[in-house]
Structure 1
Amino acid sequence: MTDIADVEVIAPNFKQRLSGVTSTIIQLVPVQNRLGQKVATLGPGLPNSLPRIGYADLLRLWKRPRNGHKRVWHARRNNEMLAGLVLRDLLRMPLKILFTSASQRRHTRWTKALIARVDAVVATSARTAAYLDVENSVVMHGIDTARFFPPADKAAAKQAVGLDPERKIAGCFGRVRRQKGTDLFVDTMIALLPGRPDWIAIVAGRATASHAAFETELRERVAKAGLSDRILFVGEHTNINDWYRALDLFVAPQRWEGFGLTPLEAMATAVPVVATDVGAFRELIVTGERETGVVIPADDLAAMTTAAGAFMDDPARLSAAGARALAHVTEKFSIEREARRLGEIYASLAQ
């Protein structure tokens, strides 16, 4: 446990099950502390390696941290906002409450009421900010460019994950379910691969029990097309960065997304992206003359097939877009950049 006297920012996580928000906390907090921000987590579902405080430490929040400023309570869910408001307003603890909103839909009255009482709001994208009725700052997520980076040897990277080094590889990573558009990717590859013998495709991710039948149906569809040896379901992997390094093209086929880090992870590995216009994808990907990828309408199989096929048939375009993607993410979407921007907000609130 971290000494509460040294904690200047509390990042609560009031959800046991792994989620995108939990993943954000797990990745961000170590970087924040490395940059000198004294952030500790609170709650279940987090690795013991993170700085953390216990619920008993909340009784010590009447006393300010060693620097004499107010602490920042950085909430990312409604129940975390509510807890911060109870501590600040009912128990009169010296806290400032920051809320990060990733929602791309109109908030309920309850959520609006909570947001109206916090001290500052962060939106994870311009699209998210458009759904807020209060002043906010846009701080987009970043990724760990020390983890996601291009391979020195693409063929060796493919061999490292058991794939054919002679083949080009298109990939789709994430939970296997309809919301994620896995079926759109599979149908796109069923349409494209027969005429492109130098390409294969992989689906990396798992289907939870409620989506197992969906995955089974997709596998049957692939088998019926005679492509079981070229459209591979490789399951979930903790070393997903190694699988990105094996790719030549990444497809993000989601029908809905809150933010979506997979295009950034792919681009950081110098892999161009075909992505649907959901989440923050349009704000992450550069299209046009300096393209790092292509953004297409959501749930549009024909557009996905056309866009992916155009990249697959143009090696020079594929290579150039990949190089620009790497430079783009390195400059604008490192996790250190996200952490520094949040640090500026913390400092402004605390003082």
Structure 2
Amino acid sequence: MPVTSAPAPPRVLHVTQPVDGGVARVVADLVRGQLAAGMHVSVACPASGSLPRLLASTGCEVLEWEASRSPGKGVIQEGRRLAGVVARTRPDLIHAHSAKAGLITRLVVRGRVPTVFQPHAWSFEAVRGVPARMALNWERLGARWASRLVCVSRAEQRTGRSRGIEAEWRLVPNGVDLERFHPAAPPDTEPHGSGDGPLVVCVGRLCRQKGQDLLVRAWKDVLRELPRARLVLVGDGPEAERLKAAAPRTVSFAGPVDDPVPWYRAADLVVMPSRWEGMALAPLEAMACGSPVLVTDVAGARESLPPPLARACVVPPEDTAALARALVRLLRDTEGLGALGRAAYRHVHAHHDVRRTAAAVAEVYGELLGPATTADREPITT
């Protein structure tokens, strides 16, 4: 009786820059799920940031790839370095995350290896004028070298299509690890806040995208109505010093933390005043911990919320007056906040389990990985 060998597990190479914030957590969660499924997984990324630490205990092969966050003169050298990584690892599939890694990966590989590109929010939304037009033109061109383009929200996908990006689209909403992100007690019984006044928490990189400057401006109006209210900004980033200089005394800066869960659990309300997103991860994490969230109406926001929060907890982006009014309204309604937190908890458990996300990404990989192996493919040379 002939003996047939089992097919080798696929070799997947994730390429990412940035290495902090939501993108890092998405990549780390995918890697853990794929390793558990028996895939051979490597990650090419800069050595700085939180991602290498998140991957340290997984057994994943982490390959240092020096790259800055923004495009510039370094693109050629960064491409050469990535070509060397690809030539050494000979992956069956490459999954590139965010604009910079998507740019370099597609320029280097040009479709010779099945390539999944996941923008995690469009690069052309982050800039204006000539840089925005250049970024859009690149995304239109680069789409030809993406075997699949994965969006985390319908809104992100609609934006890409409406701007002339033609691709094989797949929708894979973000998910969170429900074993890590959960209330300290059942959401029906866990108390929120303290006698010191309501606590609002914002978790995210301190940068223009996340809109903490808008929140600090709005907070001055909140204090006129609720002088005992407290705000904590959790995270670090290029806007940290400017924010500290502009913030009232009741705003605290927790800095970067390895585990945001205690902050989510302590908050009466978690706020994410972003200027643009694909689907922000922090609101999902907060809701998994039983905390209600207030978000701006950017891509993925309404899709990530249950109906009660979509009606009551969404404000226009960059509208500090609307943000302040919503904060005051929500913080004054303690019972209402508790009900919103319970609805948020149920919604995330039903729709945003990271295992669901990992399974959807695995389906995308399955569409691309046929019987051919890396030995059958044209090598990527430096």
Partner of 2:260: 240
Match of 2:87 among 42, 58, 77: 58
Query: Is the 1:169–1:246 Cα contact (8 Å) retained in structure 2?
Result: yes
Opposite residue 256 of structure 2, the aligned amino acid is E
| 1:25-36 equivalences in 2 (<5 Å) | 25-36=27-38
Query: Counterpart in 1 of 2:380?
Result: none
262, 272, 293: which one aligns with 1:252: 272
How far does residue 7 in structure 1 lie from its aligned partner after superposition?
4.9
1:300 CA drift (Å): 0.6
Work out the percentage of aligned pairs sharing the same amino acid. 27
- Structure 1 segment 66-145 matched on structure 2, within 5 A: 71-76=92-97, 77-85=102-110, 88=112, 95-104=113-122, 105=124, 108-130=136-158, 131=160, 132-145=165-178
The change in CA–CA distance for 1:167 and 1:72 in structure 2 (over 3 A counts) is: same
Judging changes above 3 Å, is the alpha-carbon distance between structure 1 residues 264 and 204 closer, same or farther for their aligned structure 2 residues?
Answer: same
| Greater CA drift, 174-183 or 307-316 | 174-183
Please report how far the alpha carbon of residue 291 of structure 1 lies from its aligned counterpart in structure 2 after TM superposition.
5.1
Structure 2 gap ranges (5+): 1-6, 64-83, 125-132, 371-382
Check conservation: 2:183, 2:190, Cα contact below 8 A. no
Q: Does 1:171 align with 2:190?
A: no
Q: Distance in 1 between matches of 2:23 and 2:267?
A: 26
Which residue pairs with 2:333 in the alignment?
Answer: 314
Range with bigger deviation, 327-336 or 124-133: 124-133
Q: How many residues align?
A: 317
Give the whole-Å Cα distance in 2 for the aligned partners of 1:185 and 1:37. 42
| 2:234 is the alignment partner of 1:204 | yes
Q: CA RMSD in A?
A: 3.1
Name the SS for the 1:298 alignment partner. Answer: coil
Quote the residue 1:225 is aligned against. none
Give the deviation of 1:60 after TM superposition. Answer: 6.8
For the residue of structure 2 that corresponds to 1:12, the secondary structure is strand
Gap change, CA 1:185 and 1:287, over 3 Å in 2:
farther
For structure 1, the 5+ residue unaligned runs are 65-70, 89-94, 223-227
* Distance apart, 1:244 and its partner CA: 0.8
Q: 1:96–1:7: structure 2 CA closer, same or farther, 3 Å change rule?
A: same
CA distance in 2, matches of 1:75, 1:207: 23
Q: Is the 8 A contact 2:216 2:243 kept in 1?
A: no
Letter in 2 for 1:122: V
Structure 1 pair 56/197, CA: closer, same or farther in 2 (3 Å)?
closer
Further displaced range: 74-83 or 262-271: 74-83
- How far the C-alpha of 1:43 sits from its partner, in A, is 4.4
Look up the match of 1:39: 41
Could you tell me which amino acid in structure 1 is paired with residue 44 of structure 2?
L
TM-score by length of 1: 0.79
What is the Cα deviation at residue 127 of structure 1?
1.8
CA deviations over 1:215-274 (Å, ceiling 9, x no partner)? 23223xx1xxxxx2x332222211211111100111111223343211111111111111
> Are 2:296 and 2:315, in contact at CA under 8 Å, matched by a contact in 1?
yes
Q: Deviations over 1:28-75 (max 9, x none)?
A: 2012222444433234433443422765783573xx9xxxxxx22222
Q: What is the CA-CA distance between 1:213 and the residue it aligns to? A: 4.1
Q: Secondary structure at the match of 1:256?
A: coil
Q: Which runs of 4+ in 1 moved over 6 A?
A: 153-158
CA contact (8 A) 1:13 1:44 kept: no
SS of 1:262 mapped into structure 2? helix
Counterpart residue number, 1:262: 282
The aligned residue for residue 68 of structure 1 is none
- Offset, 1:182: 1.4
TM-score under structure 2 length normalisation:
0.73
Q: Deviations over 1:110-130 (max 9, x none)?
A: 332332133222122112212
CA distance in 2, matches of 1:42, 1:236: 23
Name the counterpart of 2:129: none
Preserved CA contact (<8 Å) 1:121 1:136: yes
Deviation at 1:21, TM superposition (A): 3.5
Q: The residue matched to 1:13 in structure 2 has which SS?
A: strand
1:299 to 318, 321, 324: 318
